């Protein structure tokens, strides 16, 4: 296992609610909140943030995201097994059932397969084997039989005074007998290159900040487990770092409020535009954004305009 300590300055990162359609603006089941992935959207491109968070434009399912969701589901379920039975074979046995469950929960995933052939020309067995490879990497990094997580898929929320409600989902929370808390997040992609860790660091400090504010306990360790290349990034947060993260979040939120009130969601052209599902609507590529749906901003951002 390769371990890298990270201490770079954070760069924003906000979380996505489920993608919906423009035509139906319904009241959210939970109050609007800011998450790490949605903040990252805004910093990457304010117009992308608008499309995803305000307009809720539908996006085609991503093969990588689908595999990541599947692996996360298996790792969560694996810890239901008693100690000694959390084996790689047991994890692989969970794959077919968890994939079927995900297909039932979101039928968009079925579009990844046409006539039985999926991404990269793989059939169902090949697709599941790819997820199994990531699980195999996980077992080289941690022994789940030596862990007893305090929480899995933990929803964390904290209201900033004079700011947004913060929300995120922590993959795993470990609590040592001493009371020390470790926040663990699984990533099914590869670890960022040196100098590009800022978004990942921000995400973990975001979670650390919310837990600290809500529980009064400063996490001892923030840990990112990258199954794409077997890397582990770890950092021990300080009070000063989490306070800096809070200030960064407030700055991002102020910019989002300004965009919502002025109606100016500037597109930002970068190398990442090639992966954007909304190029046809982007002025940078000759497109015209649709009108913001009536009532979408207060409902989805909680901002009065």
At 156-186, the pLDDT tens digits run 999 999 999 999 999 999 999 999 999 999 9
The predicted structure's pLDDT at residue 112: 84
The predicted structure's pLDDT at residue 303: 92
Average pLDDT over residues 30-39: 92
Listed range (55-69, 201-215, 277-291) with the worst mean pLDDT = 55-69
Q: Sheet containing 181-187: give its strands across.
A: 2-5, 231-235, 221-226, 181-187, 165-175, 151-159
Q: Helices in 142-270 by DSSP H: which ranges?
A: 198-215, 239-262
CB contact at 8 A, 130 and 122: yes
pLDDT tens, position by position, 45-74: 999 999 999 999 999 888 888 999 999 999
The band of 135, judged by pLDDT with boundaries at 50, 70 and 90, is very high
CB contact at 8 A, 28 and 300: yes
The band of 6, judged by pLDDT with boundaries at 50, 70 and 90, is very low
The band of 25, judged by pLDDT with boundaries at 50, 70 and 90, is low
d(CA 169, CA 12): 17
- 């079927």: which residue's tokens? 100
Query: Does 17 have pLDDT greater than 80?
Result: no
Listed range (14-28, 90-104, 173-187, 214-228) with the worst mean pLDDT = 14-28
Query: Does 205 have pLDDT greater than 90?
Result: yes
Dihedral of alpha carbons 235, 237, 243, 244, sign: negative
The predicted structure's pLDDT at residue 110: 84
Query: Does 99 have pLDDT greater than 90?
Result: yes
Average pLDDT over residues 206-234: 96
CB contact at 8 A, 66 and 109: yes
Average pLDDT over residues 271-287: 95
Buried b (16+ CB within 10 A) or exposed e, 209-238: bbbbbeeeebbbbbbbbbbeebbbbbbebe
The predicted structure's pLDDT at residue 8: 30
d(CA 224, CA 204): 8
Average pLDDT over residues 298-304: 93
Buried b (16+ CB within 10 A) or exposed e, 26-48: eeeeeebbbbbbbbbbbbbbbbb
The predicted structure's pLDDT at residue 177: 94
Q: If you average pLDDT over every residue of the chain, what do you get? A: 89
Query: Does 1 have pLDDT greater than 70?
Result: no
pTM of the model: 0.86
The band of 9, judged by pLDDT with boundaries at 50, 70 and 90, is very low
């Amino acid at each position: 296992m390769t371990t890298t300590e990270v201490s770079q300055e954070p760069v924003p990162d906000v979380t996505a609610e489920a993608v919906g359609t423009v035509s139906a603006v319904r009241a959210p089941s939970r109050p609007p909140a800011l998450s790490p992935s949605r903040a990252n959207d805004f910093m990457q491109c304010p117009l992308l943030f608008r499309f995803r968070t305000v307009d809720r434009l539908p996006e085609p399912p991503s093969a990588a995201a689908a595999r990541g969701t599947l692996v996360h589901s298996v790792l969560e379920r694996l810890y239901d097994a008693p100690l000694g039975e959390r084996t790689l074979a047991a994890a692989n046995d969970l794959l077919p059932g968890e994939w079927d469950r995900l297909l039932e929960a979101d039928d968009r995933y079925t579009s990844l397969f046409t006539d039985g052939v999926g991404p990269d020309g793989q059939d169902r067995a090949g697709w599941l084997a790819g997820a199994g490879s990531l699980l195999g990497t996980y077992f080289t990094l941690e022994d789940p039989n030596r862990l007893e997580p305090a929480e899995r898929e933990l929803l964390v929320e904290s209201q900033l005074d004079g700011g947004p409600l913060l929300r995120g989902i922590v993959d795993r929370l470990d609590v040592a007998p001493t009371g020390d808390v470790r926040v663990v997040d699984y990533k099914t992609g590869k670890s960022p290159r040196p100098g590009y860790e800022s978004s990942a660091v921000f995400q973990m400090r975001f979670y650390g900040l919310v837990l600290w504010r809500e529980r009064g306990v400063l996490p001892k360790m923030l840990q990112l487990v990258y199954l794409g290349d077997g890397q582990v990034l770890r950092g021990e947060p300080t009070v000063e770092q989490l306070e800096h993260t809070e200030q960064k979040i407030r700055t991002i939120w102020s910019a989002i409020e300004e965009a919502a009130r002025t109606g100016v969601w500037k597109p930002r052209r970068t190398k990442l535009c090639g992966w954007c599902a909304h190029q046809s609507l982007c002025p940078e590529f000759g497109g015209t954004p649709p009108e913001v749906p009536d009532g979408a901003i207060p409902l989805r951002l909680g901002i009065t305009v």
